A and B are shown apart, each in its own frame.
Chain A
Amino acid sequence: MKTAAGKRAGTRAGGPAGHVGHGRDQVLAALREALKASGGDVELVYIGQDCGTTRFAASGIHQNMSEHGMSVSARVAAGKKLGVASTNSLAKADLAAVIKQAREIAGAARPLPEFSGFPGPQDYGPAPHPDLAVVEQTPEQRADALKPLFATAAKSKTELHGALIARTSRIAVANTEGLSAWHEGTVADAQFIAMDPGGGGSGYAAGAEPRWAAMDLPTLAETAIRKCVQSRKPKDLDPGTYEVILEPAAVAEIFSWLPWIAFTGRSVEDGQSFLKDKFGQMVATDAVTIYDDGLDSEGIPLPIDFEGRPKKSVYFVDRGVAREVAHDVVSAAKAKARPTGHAPFPGMGLTAMPLNLFVAPGMSSVEEMIAQTTRGVLVTRFHYLNGLLNPPVALFTGMTRDGAFWVEDGKVRYPIKNMRFTQSIARALHGAELVGRDRVITPNTWSPFGSACVPGMKFREWTFSSKTDF
C-alpha cells in the first residue's frame, strides 16, 4: 500500500503512531500568502492539535487514540460588519474560498458598533517551548508506563481506570494589519481512579504538566489506590452544614466555572456576576487570590488570545478584594475598561474567555487543614457540578466522588457515603480559612486550550443537602 504520511508538505517525521502536525513556518507562510491575496480587513486564526489519548478501565487499556486536527477561521470585516467562516485545510484554494465566504457573510451582517478593527503587530511575553517528550509521545510509551501501575493496583485488590494524554496545541493568528502570532504548547495529563472490582471503595488522583518528565505517574496511581482502600465501607453522614476541606481537584472543578459565570465583562453587564457592584470590596477572606495569567509557567501557558492580542494578567480577587474582570475588545469598550487579551474564538459570540485560571498558593498542607478541622468533610473531588442555579450568588450543586471522609478533632475518622452539596460560593469565600501551598494543574477536558492551577482549600461552612447509599 502506498502511504502519503510523511510526504505531505511540511509534515514532520514521526513514529508509526507519531504526530503529523504543522510547523510554525508552514502555518504562518500559508496564512500570510492567503492574506496577501485577500483584499484586506481579514484575520486568520489557525488552531491545531495532536493528541494521543490512552484510556484504561479495570486495569486494561480499552481505548487508544491518535488524533491530528486543525482549523483555520477567517474573520472578515466590512466596515463594522463581521463574518466568520472556517475550514480544516491550509491549502491555498481552501483559504481563499473561506475568506470569500466570510466576506459574503459579513456583507449580509449587521454592524457591531463596538468593533474598532483588527489589532496591528503586538509584543508578546515569553512562553516555554513545547516539550519534545510530549510532542513525540507514542502509545507504546503510554502502555509501558501504565502496565506496572496496573500490577501495583492488583496488589491492593483494586483496579485502575482513567486516562493518560499527551497533547500538543498550536495557535496562529495573522491579519491584514500586519499582526502575526504563534504559540505551540504541550501538556501531559493523567487521571487515575482506583476502584474495587464489583463496587466498594474508590479513589482519585490526577495531575498535568507542560513537560512529560515532570509527571510522577507512580505517585498519582498510588494515591488513587490508597484513597480507594481508605474509602472502603463508608458510613452515613446526615446532610447539614459542616467545615469542608476541598482537595485541589475539587477546588478546580468549582473554580473552573467561575470565569464563565462571574469573571467576564459580559457576566457583570448582565448582572450575573457576584462581583458586580463589589469592586474594591472584600468578597472573600484575605487568604484568597484568584487570577488569570496566560504567561504564568506554573500552569499551561497561552500567551495570546484569539485576536492575537497579548494576554494580560487579571486579578479577579486580590487578597479578598474584588478587583477586575476579563474583557475582550467589545466588552472593554462597553465597560470603558482595558482589553485584557481574552478575545473568544472566532464565531463563538462575544464574551471574554479567561482560560488560565489560578488560585494563589497559601501556607497549608492538606494534613494541616485536617489538623485544624473540628467537624468537617474531606472531599477528594466532585462530580457533575452545576453553577447555573443562581449565578448572582454563585450557587452550585454537585456530588462528592471517589473518596469523601469525615474529619473530627483534627483527624480523618472514617469514609462517608457520597453527598450532594448545594452551596453559594460567594458566601463560602467569606469563610475561606486556609489555602493549600501545593497546586495541581487541571486541563480543560473540552478544548485544546485552558487549565486551572489551584491548591486545596478549607472553608468554614459548606452545606451538604442530601446523601446517597454508596
Chain B
Amino acid sequence: MKPVLQEIVSHLKRRKVDYADARFVDAEDETIAARNGVLEANSRSRSRGIGVRVLWKGSWGFAATDNLADLGVADRALAVAQATHRASATPARLADVQPVKASWKTPCQVDPFKVPLSKKIALLAAVSEGLHKGKRIVSGNASYTAYRTKKIFASTEGALIEQEITECGAGAVAVAAGNGTVQSRSYPNSHRGDFVTGGWEHIEAMRMQDHVERVRDEAEQLLDAPDLPEGTYDLILWGPQLALQVHESCGHPIEADRVLGTEQSLAGGSFLQPDKLGKFKYGSGYVTISLDGTIPGGLGSYGYDDEGVPTARGPVIDGGVFVGYLTSRETAARLKLKPNGAMRADSWSRIPLIRMMNISLEPGNWEADELLADSDGAILLDINKSWSIDDRRLNFQFGCEAAWQLKGGRRAKLFRNPIYSGMTPQFWGSCDAVCSKAHWRVWGVPNCGKGVPGQTARVGHGAAPSRFRGIKMGASK
C-alpha cells in the first residue's frame, strides 16, 4: 500500500495543499464470549481502508474509502477542505515535527490469533460455567477480544511509518440475584476486563480460572451485605477503580482539543485552561501523574500517532501542580507547546483526535499492608460499576461493585452499592498516600469514547492503591 499512499500525498502536494497525510489501516479483531458455559459470541472481523486528511489554506478536510484502488479519495478530501474554508474561523497551523521514516511493532510473545480457537473457547466456557455454579448466581460470563492493527502513514512532509499493534484482553463477571437486589462481581476488572498491548501470554497470566470461586462467592455475599451508610470516610481506591479515576478526572481534562473548545459538541470542555498551566494546584504533593506511550504492555503504548509524531513521555501533574497537556500538532502550535504524539483515530474511516496514551499516577512509598493497617475505619473500594463526570471534568460520581470497611489492617465488613463523589482538585488534594512500585500496574481501558461520529480508543492507566481523606460516600439505592 505504500505506493498508493505516496501517490495520494504526492498528488496533493502538487495541488499545493498546506499539508496532507494518508493512512492505510488493516484492522482485525476476534471476540469470544461465553455465558453459563454456552458460547454466545465467536467472531472474527477484518476491515481495510484509506483515510486522507488535507489542510488547505488553514482548513481541514477528510475523506475515507474502503476501495484500496480509489485514488479519488485524495481529491474528495481536498474538496471537503475547500468546503470547510467557506465557513472556517481560525486557520489551523501545525507545529513543526521532524518527518520520520520508521516502523514499530508491539512486542508480542504469543500471537493471540494463532492460539487454537478450541483452547480459547474451552477457557471461557469453563470460567463462565464455574461462575454460574453458585445457588444465587443468575449468570456467569467470560469474554476475550484481540485486535491487530496494521497501519501505514505517509505525509506530504515525507513521513513514512509502518506499525503493527497487537492488543488483547479478557474478563469475567458473575451476576447474583436475591434478597431484593442484583449484584455483580468481576475479575480482573469490569466492562470487559483488562487489556494490554501484547499477546495471549497476558490472558494466561490472568489465571481467570483461579479466581472463579472467590468472584462467585463475593457476588453472592454482596446480596446479603448492607448498603454503605451515607457519610464522610477516608477512602482507599484499589487499582482498577483508581485507573478510571485518573482517566476521567485527569486524562480527559488535559486533552488540548477539549481545552481549546473544539470538542464541545459531545465530550465538552476542560477546567484546566491554559492560564493554569505551570501553576494550578491540581492535587496534593503526593500526586504526580505522567503521560507515557512507551510503557511495555500498556494499552496506550504505540510507536507513532496518526500524525506521524512519536509517542512521548512527560509530566502532567508534578507534585500536585498541573504542568502538561496531551497535544496534537495543531493544538501544540496554538498553545506554543511541543506535540506529544496523542492523535489517534479508531479506524481508517475516522479522523485522528487527541486521545490518551498511558496516563498514570506515579507510585509512592507505601506498602499496601502498611496502608491498610494505617487506615482503620476507612472504606476500600474495588472495581467500577458506574461513572459520571461533568463536561468540564470537575463534579464526578463513581459507583463500585464492593466496599469493605477496614479494621486492624483487614477488610472487616462488606457493603454493597457504594458510590463516592467529589470535585476533581479537592479530591486529588485529599490524597495523602500512594503505594509503591511493587503494587503499581497498568490497567487497560478499552472503551474510551470521544468525537462525532463516535470513536472508541484503547488507553492505559498505571495506578497503585491510594488513600484519600474525607470523601463523601453513600449507596446507590
**Interface positions of A (Cβ within 8 A of B):** 1-6, 8, 15-17, 20, 51, 53-71, 73, 81-89, 101-102, 104-106, 108-113, 138-140, 142-144, 146-147, 150, 161-163, 165, 191, 193, 195, 269-272, 346-350, 383-393, 395, 397-399, 401, 418, 420, 422, 445-446, 465-470
CB distance from B5 to the nearest CB of A (A): 13
- Which among A65, A191, A195 has the greatest number of chain B C-beta atoms within 10 A? A65
Contact assessment for B49 and A88 in the assembled complex, using a CB-CB cutoff below 8 Å? yes
- Knowing A66-B62, A88-B48, say if A55 contacts B392 (CB, 8 Å): no
CB distance from B6 to the nearest CB of A (A): 12
Complex A-B, nearest 6 residue pairs according to Cβ-Cβ distance, in ascending order: A60-B89, A5-B72, A347-B43, A86-B45, A139-B83, A84-B43
Residue of B nearest to A390 (CB): B476
- Knowing A61-B84, A113-B38, A446-B454, say if A271 contacts B118 (CB, 8 Å): no
B266 is an interface residue with CB less than 8 A from chain A: yes
Task: Give the secondary structure class of B's interface.
Answer: mixed
CB distance from A398 to the nearest CB of B (A): 6
CB distance from A21 to the nearest CB of B (A): 10
* A residues in contact with B64, CB < 8 Å: 65-69
Residue of A nearest to B78 (CB): A16
Contact assessment for B87 and A146 in the assembled complex, using a CB-CB cutoff below 8 Å? yes
Given A68-B66, A384-B391; 9 other pairs, CB 8 A cutoff = A3-B72, A55-B265, A61-B84, A87-B45, A162-B265, A193-B264, A271-B177, A399-B389, A445-B454
How far apart are the CA atoms of A162 and B423 in the complex, in Å? 27
Q: For B138, give its contact among A58, A147, A270 (CB under 8 Å).
A: A270
- Which among A1, A89, A109, A162 has the greatest number of chain B C-beta atoms within 10 A? A1
**Interface positions of B (Cβ within 8 A of A):** 7, 11, 31, 33-35, 37-49, 59-67, 69-77, 79-81, 83-84, 86-90, 92, 116-118, 121, 125, 138-139, 175, 177, 181-182, 261-266, 268, 349-351, 385-392, 394-395, 397, 399, 417, 419, 421, 423, 449, 452-454, 476-477
* B residues in contact with A55, CB < 8 Å: 262, 265, 452
How far apart are the CA atoms of A62 and B80 in the complex, in Å? 11
* B residues in contact with A51, CB < 8 Å: 453
CB distance from A111 to the nearest CB of B (A): 8
8 contacts between A and B (CB under 8 A): A5-B75, A62-B89, A64-B59, A64-B81, A65-B80, A65-B453, A146-B87, A422-B397
How far apart are the CA atoms of A1 and B477 in the complex, in Å? 64
Contact assessment for A66 and B77 in the assembled complex, using a CB-CB cutoff below 8 Å? yes
CB distance from B418 to the nearest CB of A (A): 10
Q: For B417, give its contact among A63, A67, A390 (CB under 8 Å).
A: A390
Contact assessment for A401 and B71 in the assembled complex, using a CB-CB cutoff below 8 Å? no
CB distance from A361 to the nearest CB of B (A): 27
Q: For A422, give its contact among B44, B452, B476 (CB under 8 Å).
A: B476
- Which among A56, A139, A387 has the greatest number of chain B C-beta atoms within 10 A? A139
- Knowing A110-B38, A466-B395, say if A445 contacts B266 (CB, 8 Å): yes
CB distance from A234 to the nearest CB of B (A): 14
CB distance from A167 to the nearest CB of B (A): 9
Contact assessment for B40 and A4 in the assembled complex, using a CB-CB cutoff below 8 Å? no
CB distance from A138 to the nearest CB of B (A): 7
Contact assessment for A272 and B182 in the assembled complex, using a CB-CB cutoff below 8 Å? yes
Contact assessment for B90 and A58 in the assembled complex, using a CB-CB cutoff below 8 Å? yes
Contact assessment for B67 and A8 in the assembled complex, using a CB-CB cutoff below 8 Å? yes
Residue of B nearest to A399 (CB): B390
- Knowing A70-B66, A468-B394, say if A56 contacts B385 (CB, 8 Å): no
- Knowing A53-B453, A383-B390, A385-B388, say if A86 contacts B44 (CB, 8 Å): yes
- Which among B34, B79, B421 has the greatest number of chain A C-beta atoms within 10 A? B79
* A residues in contact with B60, CB < 8 Å: 62-64
Q: For A101, give its contact among B44, B59, B181, B449 (CB under 8 Å).
A: B44
Contact assessment for B419 and A16 in the assembled complex, using a CB-CB cutoff below 8 Å? no
- Knowing A53-B452, A389-B385, A468-B395, say if A270 contacts B83 (CB, 8 Å): no
Residue of B nearest to A391 (CB): B182
Contact assessment for B71 and A3 in the assembled complex, using a CB-CB cutoff below 8 Å? yes
CB distance from A170 to the nearest CB of B (A): 14
Contact assessment for A59 and B89 in the assembled complex, using a CB-CB cutoff below 8 Å? yes
Q: For A383, give its contact among B39, B81, B268, B476 (CB under 8 Å).
A: B268
How far apart are the CA atoms of A162 and B182 in the complex, in Å? 39
* A residues in contact with B389, CB < 8 Å: 384, 399
How far apart are the CA atoms of A158 and B427 in the complex, in Å? 33
* A residues in contact with B268, CB < 8 Å: 383, 401
How far apart are the CA atoms of A17 and B83 in the complex, in Å? 9
Contact assessment for A386 and B386 in the assembled complex, using a CB-CB cutoff below 8 Å? yes
Contact assessment for A65 and B351 in the assembled complex, using a CB-CB cutoff below 8 Å? yes
Contact assessment for A64 and B388 in the assembled complex, using a CB-CB cutoff below 8 Å? no
* A residues in contact with B69, CB < 8 Å: 4, 8
Q: For A69, give its contact among B46, B75, B349, B388 (CB under 8 Å).
A: B349
* A residues in contact with B392, CB < 8 Å: 470
How far apart are the CA atoms of A395 and B83 in the complex, in Å? 45
* B residues in contact with A469, CB < 8 Å: 394
- Which among B71, B75, B390 has the greatest number of chain A C-beta atoms within 10 A? B390
* A residues in contact with B46, CB < 8 Å: 86-88
How far apart are the CA atoms of A323 and B66 in the complex, in Å? 44
Contact assessment for A139 and B385 in the assembled complex, using a CB-CB cutoff below 8 Å? no
Contact assessment for A389 and B421 in the assembled complex, using a CB-CB cutoff below 8 Å? no
CB distance from A225 to the nearest CB of B (A): 15
* B residues in contact with A146, CB < 8 Å: 87
* B residues in contact with A393, CB < 8 Å: 477
CB distance from B267 to the nearest CB of A (A): 9
* B residues in contact with A60, CB < 8 Å: 87-90
* A residues in contact with B67, CB < 8 Å: 4-5, 8, 20
Contact assessment for B397 and A112 in the assembled complex, using a CB-CB cutoff below 8 Å? no
Residue of A nearest to B395 (CB): A468
Contact assessment for A4 and B70 in the assembled complex, using a CB-CB cutoff below 8 Å? yes
How far apart are the CA atoms of A398 and B73 in the complex, in Å? 41
Contact assessment for A73 and B39 in the assembled complex, using a CB-CB cutoff below 8 Å? no
Q: For B62, give its contact among A65, A106, A346, A390 (CB under 8 Å).
A: A65
* A residues in contact with B31, CB < 8 Å: 347
Contact assessment for A468 and B390 in the assembled complex, using a CB-CB cutoff below 8 Å? yes
- Knowing A60-B89, A110-B39, say if A68 contacts B476 (CB, 8 Å): no
Residue of B nearest to A273 (CB): B182
Contact assessment for B421 and A465 in the assembled complex, using a CB-CB cutoff below 8 Å? yes
How far apart are the CA atoms of A350 and B421 in the complex, in Å? 34
* A residues in contact with B40, CB < 8 Å: 112, 349-350
How far apart are the CA atoms of A198 and B291 in the complex, in Å? 28
How far apart are the CA atoms of A191 and B267 in the complex, in Å? 13
How far apart are the CA atoms of A139 and B77 in the complex, in Å? 11
Q: For B390, give its contact among A144, A161, A163, A384 (CB under 8 Å).
A: A384
Residue of B nearest to A191 (CB): B265
* B residues in contact with A17, CB < 8 Å: 61, 63, 76, 79-80, 83
Residue of B nearest to A90 (CB): B66
How far apart are the CA atoms of A101 and B117 in the complex, in Å? 12
- Knowing A71-B47, A468-B395, say if A384 contacts B388 (CB, 8 Å): yes
* B residues in contact with A3, CB < 8 Å: 70-72, 75
Contact assessment for A5 and B181 in the assembled complex, using a CB-CB cutoff below 8 Å? no
How far apart are the CA atoms of A106 and B42 in the complex, in Å? 8
- Knowing A2-B71, A105-B117, A193-B264, say if A64 contacts B84 (CB, 8 Å): yes
Residue of A nearest to B116 (CB): A108
Residue of B nearest to A448 (CB): B453
How far apart are the CA atoms of A245 and B66 in the complex, in Å? 46
Q: For A56, give its contact among B33, B76, B87, B417 (CB under 8 Å).
A: B87
* B residues in contact with A150, CB < 8 Å: 87
* B residues in contact with A71, CB < 8 Å: 45, 47
* B residues in contact with A69, CB < 8 Å: 47, 49, 64, 66, 349
